[in-house]
Amino acid sequence: MSRLLRGAVAGIGLLVVVGTLLWASPAGAQEPGADDPAEQEPGQSQQVSGTLRYKDDSGEDVFVEGLEVTVESADGSFSETVTSDEDGRWAVEVPGPGRYTASIDPDQLPEDVSLRDEDRSALTVTLAEGESRAVLFALQSGEGGRGGSHFFDRAARLSVEGLKFGLIIAICAIGLSLIFGTTGLVNFAHGEMVTWGALVAFFFNVTLGWPMVLSAAIAVVVGAITGLGIDRGLWRPLERRGTGLIAMLVITIGVGILIRYVFLYQFGGFTRTYADYQLQTEGLELGPVTIVPRDLATILISLGVLVAVALALQLTRIGKAMRAVADNRDLAESSGIDVERVVGYVWAAGAGLAALGGVLLGLAEQVDWLMGFRLLLLMFAGVILGGIGTAYGALIGSIVIGLLVQLSTLWVAPELKNVVALLVLIIILIVRPQGILGQAERVG
């Protein structure tokens, strides 16, 4: 067996073997779910349920009675409509495991009540065998109940969502930018490192029942080790054989597809939630914006990590070496810098940051096997907007992309919001291909 084949087997096999150890069956892990109304005994019926309530001006809970809630299966074979009782409660028994969507009509809400987010009048949950789930429609008291919230109030809420989303993109994209800056490799498999971090945290938090904070820390460590292993086992042997960057780019696409379908086989195609910090309705109120503790923690952790990365790049020896290699690899090597060692640190740090971003994205949304792949376009858009190869450019560009994507739903359907990132990517490539912080280079 040649050195190249051994390296490929070692690098790709690391993910396959570890993934197989974490999930022993193709069905994937099944979470008990912190938002389950009750533990389900074998043979009991499965339900999708919830409570419709909001807080009035005095902070007291008010329950919405008589509102119709419709629960439908994903394949359309099941549909049932129920009405909330005097305590705002409703429940629908479903025929079995699968994906179900619970929806309400915002026009049926009382005059002084509205959804906090007009786009979340339909919520989707996935039930495993013997499992029941509760869904939460976020209601609020105030003007615009029947027609939705005021434009500027909604814009303020979307701005906070965009800032949070942009910071998550930035954490994931910094590694992508540094890897390109130090190696010249455009890594299309970087999105799978985001998914890997989310799945590892899911395994420890849901399957083993460990605290979310500890699970997230383990996910970051596992992500960093995985990134370093793939560099040592796959990319470094390819580089030593003289494989060109275009060929390696194509290989990253293939590696990404392989890892993606390993995730699908082990985890399944359903979306799942972490066991902790899911049902949060109260939080910090800033005018029309309510920031629940989970989102506030996400923003603060993201800011803290990004500041720490910036300080590390500026003040530490390895950070300065990374910037030197990214600026001029040959000059850095001739100056005595161990380039291969620096590149190994870059891969480990980039994969660890991507894993952390995956955990935070899983907390903000849900965990599924395609989450990193969907985020990949936005990462590239942020990196190119800020200036590819620069960590600070990736930070600025990612925040701008996050804000644009979320605020675009003021005018376009939520399903089309990622198109905005693609349009920004195209415009930047035409108008300023070097990005915001990038420098133009002469060719020839």
CA distance 353 to 330: 27
Burial of 16 (0-12, 13-18, 19+ CB in 10 A): middle
What are the tens digits of pLDDT across the range 396-440? 889 999 999 988 888 887 778 888 878 877 887 788 877 777 665
pLDDT > 90? residue 256 = yes
Q: How far apart are CA 68 and CA 195, in angstroms?
A: 36
Backbone phi, then psi, for 45, in 5-degree steps?
-70, 155
Pairing of strands 98-104, 122-127: antiparallel
Task: Write out the DSSP string of 215-277.
Answer: HHHHHHHHHHHHHHHHIIIIIHHHHHTT--HHHHHHHHHHHHHHHHHHHHHHH-SS-B--SSS
24: exposed, middle or buried (Cβ count in 10 Å: 0-12, 13-18, 19+): exposed
Q: Where does the pLDDT of residue 57 fall: very low under 50, low under 70, confident under 90, or very high at 90 and above?
A: low
Other CB atoms within 10 A of residue 164 CB: 21
What are φ and ψ of residue 340, in 5° steps?
-65, -40
- How much is the pLDDT for 438? 64
The first and second tokens of residue 315, run together, are: 């003040």
Which tens digit of pLDDT belongs to each residue from 172-229?
Answer: 999 898 898 888 899 999 999 999 999 999 999 988 989 999 999 999 999 999 999 9
* Torsions phi, psi for 63 (to 5 deg): -100, 140
Per-residue DSSP letter, 33: -
Least confident segment among 76-85, 275-284, 367-376, 388-397: 275-284
Helix, strand, or coil here: 164? Answer: helix
Cβ–Cβ < 8 Å for 171, 356: yes
Q: Which residue has the higher pLDDT, 315 or 114?
A: 315
Per the structure block, which two tokens stand in for 249?
Answer: 């780019």
Closest C-alpha to 23, from 263, 316, 351, 336: 263
Between the CA of residue 344 and those of 217, 246, 311, 335, 347, what are the distances in Å? 20, 21, 19, 18, 5
Q: DSSP letter at 414?
A: G
* Confidence band, pLDDT 50/70/90 cuts, at residue 282: low
Residues 6+ apart with CB under 8 A from 4: 237, 238, 241
For residue 150, the surrounding DSSP H or E stretch is none
Beta-carbon count within 10 A of 131 CB: 18
Which domains occur in the chain, in start order?
46-135 (2.60.40.10), 156-431 (1.10.3470)
In b/e form, how buried is each residue of 399-429, taking b as 16+ CB within 10 angstroms?
Answer: bbbbbbbbbbbeeeeeeebbebbeebbeebe
Confidence of residue 441 (pLDDT cuts 50, 70, 90): low
Is 322 in a helix, a strand, or coil? helix
